[in-house]
Homo-oligomer: A and B are copies of this chain.
Amino acid sequence: MSEAKSTKPAGSDLEERRTVRGRQRGDRYVRIVRPAQREFERKDAGHLVATEQVLAPTTAPGRFVDGVRRVLLGARIPTSLELGERIGKVKGLAVFASDNISSSAYATEEIMRVLLLAGLGTMAALTLPITLAIIAVLAIVVVSYQQTIGAYPNGGGSYIVANDNLGPFPGLTAAAALLTDYVLTVAVSIAAGVAALTSIFPQLFDMRVALGIAFVVVLAVGNLRGIRESATIFALPTYVYLVAIFGLLGYGLFRFATGTLPQYTAPSEWSLQETVGPLGILLVLRAFASGSVALTGVEAVSNGVPAFKRPESRNAQVVLILMGSFFGVIFLGMSFLAGQLGIIPDPTEQETVVSQLTRTFVGNGTPYHYLVQISTALLLVLAANTAFADFPRLGSILARDRFAPHYFQFRGDRLAFTTGILVLALLSAVLIVAFSGSVTALIPLYTVGVFVAFTLSQAGMVRHWWKLRATQRGWRWRAALNGLGAVATAIVALVVGAAKFALGAWMVLVLIPALITLMWAINRHYRTVEDALTLDEPHGTLPRRASPRVLVLLARLDRASLEALAYARSIAPLVTAVHVTDDPTEGERIRARWRSLDIDGDTDLVILESPYRALIPPLVAYIDALQKQEPERSITVVLSEFVPRRPWEYLLHNQAALRLKLRLFFRRNTVVIDVPYHV
């Protein structure tokens, strides 16, 4: 105390004062570096930089866990290496386009499934026109997004564009739509990937839910390793898929051109009752809605611009164009050939349309059949990775804007957003289980969110060009282009929402407002807290407070309580020990032992008799009474807490301490200190 008082009031030359004091006392941070040179480098006085050594585990189980972690996730990456974690066009196409291109594995099939309800003839006649309509929308969206990428080189996800140009509410709507969409991307892509596998390995069909979960786990681990390495994983299957499928389509078109199309017959065990329903406009719209899953994944590229190597925008734009072109060609070719062959979707969802198409051309179980199916499966499962890149990134942006819990911003050892990855993995696994891994059951939930986000993003771009009208040349045609995109996607959003409402779209339409409300509430909370916590400027001198009134709760007189008592006496001059009991004679026994302990100085014992056996209420009442006497002095309650050697032993101790802490946590001006006692 006397030392503190003798210190001169804080002046400007802090550095000098510190060194002097450091020399005087010899027990301060200035000298701390010497015994810890491996753990810290000294930058200047009071600024130490931790080395990787501080993360080294010191126990045998710790070393084992650390070893497993390194094998699974790789070595740690310091923040300063972040810029190096970028990808070029070739890897970029693999990472960001896999989501979109992989939709070609099920888009045609989902259109056909809906049209089949109106009969085989209708299906054969209408699949191709609906495919063309969807490709037209895709073209509009790709062109429209070229501008978004140019205007938002730091990542132009729908949330950012809508938030920037239309305000926080449309921004949050886009964010909520995208979050649900990313979860569904993982669930649908993985379910479709598993379906591609069960097409060639029917014996796996009964395990499809377990397989789906396994793929989710693999993806989560891969993404916790960080983005560059996941790109390496993805590059190969994407290109193998492209080569294999273009080869198949080319061969198919050659057979068609030469008039030598092979004969297709549906397996006889499919009990295809020709129950021809009426072909209404609603059915056509539902087919269109099902097929528009083809547009999912376009967002991914514009969202991920900063992950590209320089020039980021240019690379991203090229990838987007390539993606749209590749996908359009595959989708069109697939729908055309399926129609020409007269393929029928499997009612049991065991074999996909792509598999039927492939084996009709190259034969069942041939190496090429295996090549197409396995690369499709890999592409689909890995396409889910797009969501694993985007969901955590959007989560971190929302957390930065305080619409999500702040730990969505924390990055792990490998620069990946750990929380977002884990939350996405959990939610998508739940969806796969809930819908038994069926693509057709999941599709109606999908795409509503995507098109809501598209619409808000394109509408935001229109506003963007309007704001830049003074400086930007050609703002009119730019705004018109984005306006066309907004109108087209708004129409699709309405069609999907209406046509699929009863089939599951309603869940998403309920979930999005719920998510918006939640994010809004989180934001309001953080703002309230910040208002309450921010310091007024300029600040005064921080005064020294009087030492707190310290109560030590003695359950009995043993080494643990004496440890707590000794600690209490080391932090405050006046300490009172309190013993609560329902047995007056036991209280007297404690008092007698207390006397024999010969505790010096200002430490007294108070026995609180509690005839109703309650521990906490009498103690709180006693604290209240103390506080009433001296309202300005804070109260500190010291508890001795037993530290067991094995975790299960914790159940045998400390329950009362836990309840007391919970009770006093909400009491103002009260601090509870656990003094751990190690046996």
Contact = CB atoms under 8 A, between A and B. Distances in A.
A525 B413 CA distance: 39
A278 interface: no
A510 interface: no
B609 A49 contact: yes
Interface string A579-596: 000111001000100011
Contact of A676 (B7, B80, B608, B665): B665
B671 A622 contact: no
A648 to B, nearest CB: 9
A55 B615 CA distance: 10
B674 A621 contact: no
Contacts of A630: 27
A628 B609 CA distance: 44
A3 interface: yes
Contacts of A413: 612-614
A526 B678 CA distance: 14
A566 interface: yes
A473 interface: no
Nearest to A651: B405
A162 B560 CA distance: 35
Interface in A595-634: 595-614, 617-618, 620-622, 624-626, 628-630, 634
A509 interface: no
Contacts of A582: 79
A612 B55 contact: yes
Contacts of A644: 525
B544 A48 contact: no
A573 B2 CA distance: 9
A266 interface: no
Contacts of A603: 542
A332 to B, nearest CB: 47
Nearest to A641: B665
Given A49-B611, A539-B598, A32 B626 contact: yes
Most chain B Cβ neighbours within 10 Å, of A1, A538, A567, A604: A604
B607 A35 contact: no
Contacts of A55: 612, 614, 617
Contacts of A628: 35-36
A609 B43 contact: yes
Contacts of A547: 570-571
A349 interface: no
A273 to B, nearest CB: 35
A528 interface: yes
A569 interface: yes
A611 B50 contact: yes
Given A50-B610, A78-B611, A410-B613, A625 B35 contact: yes
Contacts of A597: 535, 539, 542
Given A46-B591, A671-B675, A4 B573 contact: yes
A43 B678 CA distance: 36
A254 B364 CA distance: 84
Given A566-B545, A620-B54, A587 B47 contact: yes
B613 A567 contact: no
B412 A609 contact: no
Contacts of A641: 665
B535 A612 contact: no
A285 interface: no
Contacts of A499: none
A679 interface: yes
B412 A652 contact: no
A48 B529 CA distance: 41
A76 interface: yes
A622 B548 contact: no
A304 to B, nearest CB: 22
A522 interface: yes
A280 B649 CA distance: 50
B605 A46 contact: yes
Nearest to A675: B671
A546 interface: yes
Contact of A583 (B46, B79, B557): B79
Contact of A28 (B542, B584, B596, B604): B604
A435 interface: no
A541 B594 CA distance: 11
A407 interface: yes
A364 to B, nearest CB: 47
Contacts of A52: 612
A666 interface: yes
B604 A79 contact: no
Interface string A190-227: 00000000000000000000000000000000000000
B411 A601 contact: no
Contacts of A562: 535, 542
A655 interface: yes
Contacts of A50: 608-612, 614, 617-618, 621
A567 B529 CA distance: 21
Interface string A648-675: 0101110100000000011010111111
B571 A79 contact: no
Interface of A: 1, 3-5, 7, 9-10, 14, 18, 21, 25, 27-29, 31-33, 35-36, 39-40, 43, 46-50, 52-55, 76-80, 405-407, 410-413, 522, 525-526, 528-529, 532-535, 538-549, 557-560, 562, 565-567, 569-574, 576, 582-584, 587, 591, 595-614, 617-618, 620-622, 624-626, 628-630, 634, 636, 641-644, 649, 651-653, 655, 665-666, 668, 670-679
17 contacts: A4-B601, A7-B602, A9-B600, A10-B599, A21-B602, A49-B584, A50-B617, A79-B613, A413-B612, A526-B652, A529-B642, A529-B653, A535-B559, A535-B597, A542-B600, A544-B601, A545-B569
Given A542-B603, A671-B675, 18 more contacts: A27-B629, A31-B629, A32-B629, A39-B624, A39-B625, A76-B612, A410-B613, A522-B652, A529-B653, A535-B559, A539-B597, A540-B598, A542-B565, A544-B601, A545-B569, A567-B634, A571-B572, A665-B676
